[in-house]
Chains A and B, each alone.
Chain A
Amino acid sequence: MIRVQQEDFDIGAEIARLRAGRTDIGAIVSFTGSVRDQSGEVTDMTLEHYPGMTEAELQRIEAEAQARWPLQASLIVHRYGALMPGDNIVLVVTASEHRDTAFDAAKFLMDYLKTGAPFWKRETGPGGARWVEASAHDEASAARWTKPKRAAE
């Protein structure tokens, strides 16, 4: 399941809802991304997104994870709008029988989200506002997941 929202999320409540009534789940991994103040360089942040495409991309990324791993459940929640240092930005939860699947799928979801989901961060600090630049590290992390596929071709 995916959700795009302005409101904060409660990690414990999200995981409780995901596993409610289920006795088949053996491993649950969650990742939470939050706003860093970067030693006072960031006083607030605005997250812009592309309504419609954001949801479509997150659904596509989640479907890709479910095709690659035997997941029993997954959840992506991503916020947009005005955020402050310490605020939650994104939550990814994966559930499976065994831990490796849940860990790998959670990392995959985050790596693909980072390079594919149409969000843009604008940070404000003492020196003014600036759009955050995409990182080569994120591109490399996402590209790693395509290597086994290429090798098989």
Chain B
Amino acid sequence: MRLLYFAWVKEKVGVAAEEIDPPAGVATIAELIDWLKARGPEFENAFARSEVIRAAIDKRHVRHDASIAAAREIAFFPPVTGG
């Protein structure tokens, strides 16, 4: 699946997008965040306050308990500040 990062999440992880293949046990957004955090200090730092991180699956907002089973594109970003 494709991961996208925006705003300060992107700056902290150091990439805008990447392809990942998480292990089968990673079933939800929260579990994906935990898996990402173990990949390196930049991910640990970006997701340190994981409760403030927002997520979208295939361009729709989702909560951290959402299943990622059918996801093609998952995005992580801070709370939005447009308008």
Contact = CB atoms under 8 A, between A and B. Distances in A.
Interface of A: 33, 47-50, 52-53, 56-57, 78, 89-90, 110, 113-122, 131-134, 138
A114 B82 contact: yes
Interface size class of B (residues with CB under 8 A): 10 to 19
B75 A53 contact: yes
B60 A50 contact: no
Contact of B59 (A47, A56, A113): A56
A59 to B, nearest CB: 11
Nearest to B54: A118
B7 A120 contact: yes
29 contacts: A47-B82, A49-B82, A50-B6, A50-B77, A53-B56, A53-B60, A56-B60, A57-B61, A78-B82, A89-B82, A89-B83, A90-B82, A114-B83, A115-B79, A116-B61, A117-B83, A118-B6, A118-B80, A119-B80, A119-B82, A120-B6, A120-B7, A120-B82, A131-B8, A132-B81, A133-B79, A133-B81, A134-B80, A134-B81
B80 A120 contact: yes
Most A CB contacts (10 A, CB to CB) among B56, B60, B75, B82 go to B82
Contacts, number: 72
Contacts of B56: 50, 53, 118
Interface in B34-80: 56, 59-61, 75, 77-80
Contacts of B7: 48, 120, 122, 131
A100 to B, nearest CB: 22
B62 to A, nearest CB: 12
B82 A121 contact: yes
A33 B75 CA distance: 27
Nearest to A117: B82
Contacts of A113: 82-83
Nearest to A133: B81
B32 interface: no
B10 to A, nearest CB: 8
B78 A115 contact: no
B4 interface: yes
A16 to B, nearest CB: 24
